[in-house]
């Protein structure tokens, strides 16, 4: 005799554990260690969800659950009325998830009880197409793309390092990019500063960069700062940004930026280039060394000439700038292993990478325990130290 759907559902509900919406509300209020899984379709989820719920449509549950939940976690599944979540709960039990339950009555009963719901971030159809290669990555997905679109990254410089970093951060959908640069586009910039064009010679680099980024991705808001970074404006400029990419080309600015990032506890992704060599690292206050731990004092000017004086292979800042962008994406997504406590150097002529370990200096005047950060005369500091 064939089994009806009603018979099947009755059998399933005898095998699984169901919880009431009242019990789920008590667990959430108590901040219990439980993970909510919304197995409804995308359009249902877009209309509202339980606070903090993870969305995995029923059709993708088996494929994606292992990336979203551990087998030892307590999971509560819900759908609109409790049927799909019951079937999904049995499936997860068969996959080895023992602490799984279905919420009886589903989202409809939760909503009817006037319990809190939240409106999830929803990508538009155009955004889903634009970021499709991101969305199929379990490490990114829609939740990760939401983080990217809400992120605010400040770039110091729209030059050799800032140009490639800005382009790829914009392409990835980083929602707000601040750009600090007081210079104008010069013909000699175009050998490496790929965000600018010949037609924009004489324009402020911040405006040139903004035009390129807006043409590439209208999702991205560009905040230009056509001014030199100083002790008087650095706190104002950094305010509201999540992290900084240091593409500066002089030591006073690097030390100033480091001290300000330590003061405001913002990650500082450092990159620098010289002729055929480059280096990149990530400074995260409280989690590793800072720039002053790496360079307590700047080198003499004759040992550190600028690119204008010593030259630079045009492709080199592209490589280092993209490594900086990669560090920013990892920090935003909370994935991978950032370069905290590690300095990566690159030799373009030999195509060799070298990784050096760095340690926090317990006597660092800026980041040691109990240190009080105060801005100094950085021009004088660098001249005296040199």
SS3 string, 110-149, reads HHHCCCCCECCCCCCHHHHHHCHHHHCCCCCHHHHHHHHH
Number of Cβ within a 10 Å radius of residue 197: 13
Q: Which two tokens stand for residue 240?
A: 């509201």
| pLDDT on residue 310 | 76
Confidence tier at 67 by pLDDT (50, 70, 90) = confident
Q: β-strand 221-225 against 176-180: which pairing, if any?
A: parallel
Cβ partners under 8 Å of residue 339, min gap 6: 280, 281, 282, 327
Q: What was the pLDDT predicted at 106?
A: 97
Tokens 């970021």 locate to 131
Q: What is the pLDDT of residue 35?
A: 97
Question: Is the per-residue pLDDT at 386 higher than 60?
Answer: no
Q: What number does CATH give the domain 5-112?
A: 3.40.250.10
Domain residue spans in the chain? 5-112, 151-385
Residue by residue, DSSP assigns 173-195 as: T-SEEEEE---B--GGGGGT-TT
pLDDT value of residue 224: 98
Both tokens assigned to 118: 């939240």
Task: DSSP for 34-47, please give it.
Answer: -EEEE-S-HHHHHH
Confidence of residue 249 (pLDDT cuts 50, 70, 90): confident
Specify the pLDDT at position 375: 86
Find the helix or strand (DSSP H, E) in which 348 lies: none
Domain 151-385 sits in which CATH superfamily?
A: NAD(P)-binding Rossmann-like Domain (3.40.50.720)
User: Judging by beta carbons within 10 Å of its beta carbon (0-12, 13-18, 19+), is residue 353 exposed, middle or buried?
Assistant: exposed
Report the chain's mean pLDDT, rounded to a whole number: 93
Please name the residues in contact with 8: beta carbons below 8 A apart, sequence gap of 6 or more.
Answer: none
Are 105 and 21 a contacting pair, CB within 8 Å? yes
Rank 240-249, 365-374, 376-385 by mean pLDDT and report only the highest: 240-249
Express each pLDDT in 150-183 by its tens digit.
Answer: 999 999 999 999 999 999 999 999 999 999 999 9
Do the domains 151-385 and 5-112 match in fold?
no
pLDDT over 90 for what percent of the chain? Answer: 84
As given in the structure block, the two tokens for residue 316 are 């080199």
Distance, CA of 76 to CA of 52 (rounded, Å) = 12
Q: How many residues can be counted in the chain?
A: 386
Position 17 scores a pLDDT of 95
Helix segments in the chain, DSSP class H:
5-15, 21-29, 42-47, 61-68, 83-94, 106-112, 125-130, 132-135, 141-150, 162-172, 205-216, 234-238, 251-264, 291-294, 307-310, 316-333, 378-385
């Amino acid at each position: 005799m064939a089994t009806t759907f009603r018979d099947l559902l009755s059998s399933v509900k005898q095998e699984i554990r169901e919880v009431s919406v009242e019990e789920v509300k008590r667990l959430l209020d108590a901040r219990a260690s439980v993970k909510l899984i919304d197995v409804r379709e995308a359009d249902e989820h877009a209309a509202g969800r339980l606070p903090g719920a993870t969305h995995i449509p029923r059709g993708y549950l088996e494929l994606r659950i292992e990336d979203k939940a551990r087998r030892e976690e307590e999971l509560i599944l819900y759908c609109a009325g409790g049927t799909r979540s019951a079937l999904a709960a049995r499936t997860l039990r068969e996959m080895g998830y023992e602490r799984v339950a279905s919420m009886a009555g589903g989202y409809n009963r939760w909503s009817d009880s006037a319990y809190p719901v939240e409106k999830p971030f929803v990508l538009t159809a155009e955004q889903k197409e634009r970021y499709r290669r991101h969305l199929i990555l379990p490490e990114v997905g829609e939740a990760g793309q939401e983080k990217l679109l809400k992120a605010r990254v400040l770039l110091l410089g729209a030059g050799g390092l800032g140009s490639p970093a800005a382009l790829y951060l914009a392409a990835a959908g980083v929602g707000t990019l601040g750009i600090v640069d007081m210079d104008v586009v010069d013909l000699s910039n175009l050998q490496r500063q790929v965000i600018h064009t010949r037609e924009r010679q004489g324009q402020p680099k911040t405006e040139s960069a903004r035009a390129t980024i807006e043409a590439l991705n209208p999702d991205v808001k560009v905040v230009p700062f056509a001014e030199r970074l100083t002790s008087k404006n650095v706190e104002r400029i950094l305010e509201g940004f999540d992290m900084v990419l240091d593409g500066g080309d002089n030591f006073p600015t690097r030390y100033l930026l480091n001290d300000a990032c330590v003061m405001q506890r913002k990650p500082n992704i450092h990159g620098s280039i010289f002729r055929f060599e480059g280096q990149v690292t990530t400074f995260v206050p409280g989690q590793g060394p800072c720039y002053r731990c790496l360079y307590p004092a700047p080198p003499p000017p004759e040992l550190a000439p600028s690119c204008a004086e010593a030259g630079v292979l045009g492709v080199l800042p592209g490589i280092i700038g993209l490594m900086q962008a990669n560090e920013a994406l990892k920090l935003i997504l909370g994935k991978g292993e950032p370069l905290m406590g590690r300095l990566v150097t690159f030799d373009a002529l030999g195509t060799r990478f070298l990784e050096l370990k760095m340690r926090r200096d317990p006597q660092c005047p800026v980041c040691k325990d109990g240190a009080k950060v105060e801005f100094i005369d950085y021009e004088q500091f660098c001249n005296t130290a040199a």
